Amino acid sequence: MQQSVESLVRLLETYRGRDKVIRTFCYGSQLVGGALTRKAAADASSQRLGKSLLLFSAQLSHCRTVLRLFDDLSMLAYSHSYGLGASEEDAGVRWISVLTNVADQLYYPCEHIAWAADAELIKVRSDKWWLFSTVLWGTSLLLGILRLFRVLLLLRKKLKKKHQRGEGGSSRRSDLHRQMQAEMLSILSSMADLSNAVHWMPPGFLWAGWFPSWLVGLLGSTSSLIGLIQMNTSSSSE
């Protein structure tokens, strides 16, 4: 118990960790609130609690949007350091990563303009800017999934070669298995987020607008919990 509390405190001390915790509470509140408002038509107290949780979720989402106002420079620094991915061995991984960085970089100013329009800081319609940001987010997720599948394929090829040649000890093969499991978890996380991104597209596009609040919360919670687990695992291994 004490170790879990200490891990949570360490997460909250960093910006990325705090964002993941807020994201988890945001989607978790939407999951529970959506479930309560959906099934409790005859229970007024449960309905009120459900609506309060949905409002709480919306406020946490707004909080994350405001905090992302300061993410442009860090994203630019990362994109600049990655460049054209000269350090990558595989050309497919390299160019997918470059395109993902471009989509991520463009996402932030679009979201900032949409937020500023909603806050009445600028006189433009926010709808199209929210749409642009959602499209860029979905594009980034789709590219990320393609990249993860490519990395997974390369890891499988590497593992197969080691088996055929009898190279590497059991520890090396187990490391490759762990990497593959981590990539598969990342694919699951990104696919859950991509499902929500499509849901927030304009009506008529695939399953846009079809998801109830609890399902959006479930998909987001799944993605958030995977992110927390991966972050905690990576910090523990350092």
pLDDT value for 185: 95
% of the chain surpassing 70 pLDDT: 91
Closest CA to 27 of 186, 224, 165: 224
Task: Band the pLDDT of 1: cuts 50, 70, 90.
Answer: low
pLDDT value for 121: 96
Using DSSP's 3-state secondary structure scheme, residue 154 falls into helix
Write down the mean pLDDT value for the chain. Answer: 90
Residue 80 near residue 37 (C-beta atoms within 8 A): no
pLDDT in tens, 118-137: 999 999 999 999 999 999 99
pLDDT > 90? residue 46: no
